[in-house]
């Protein structure tokens, strides 16, 4: 059994500041589970264009509010809302006041991946 706390990850290589937020990777590839679990904070006043070509992603909002925009429309995010983009689906994540998400990635991340937030280009790993 693996036991790890949020505080165990703080300040480690799995505590990633991706400019528009932070991602604390609680489970990573080296843990042998086949998926990653993160506690992610999206900073207030940010918009991030994302696309994951090599990973499935599911995010569950547990705190704050925001929105996710895809080619299909604009969707409100609030506590109790999950979003899971299709593989390779571009999506724009925005939060005016900050938002906390619990995210799952499959296959698992190494844990130190970071976003390249170049203007006009989606980021992903």
Domain ranges of the chain: 25-106
pLDDT digits (tens, 9 = 90+) for 12-52: 999 999 999 999 999 999 999 999 999 999 999 999 999 99
Q: In angstroms, rounded to a whole number, what is the distance separating the alpha carbons of residues 123 and 23?
A: 14
Q: In angstroms, rounded to a whole number, what is the distance separating the alpha carbons of residues 6 and 84?
A: 23
**pTM of the entire predicted model:** 0.93
- Whether the pLDDT of residue 124 is over 80: the answer is no
CATH fold label, 25-106: Jelly Rolls (2.60.120)
Compute the Cα dihedral for 35, 43, 78, 51 and give only its sign. negative
CA neighbor of 38 nearest in space, from 65, 19, 18, 53 = 18
């Amino acid at each position: 059994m693996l036991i790890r706390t949020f505080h165990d990850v703080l300040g480690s290589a799995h505590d990633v500041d991706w400019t528009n937020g932070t991602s604390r990777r609680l489970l990573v590839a080296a843990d042998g589970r086949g998926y990653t679990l993160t506690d992610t904070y999206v900073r207030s006043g940010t918009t991030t264009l994302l696309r994951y070509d090599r990973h499935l992603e599911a995010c569950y909002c547990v705190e704050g509010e925001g929105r996710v925009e895809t080619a299909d429309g604009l969707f409100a995010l609030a506590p109790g809302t999950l979003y899971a983009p299709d593989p390779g689906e571009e999506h724009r994540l925005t939060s005016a006041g900050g938002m906390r998400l619990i995210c799952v990635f499959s296959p698992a991340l190494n844990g130190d991946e970071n976003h390249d937030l170049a203007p006009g280009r989606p980021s992903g790993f």
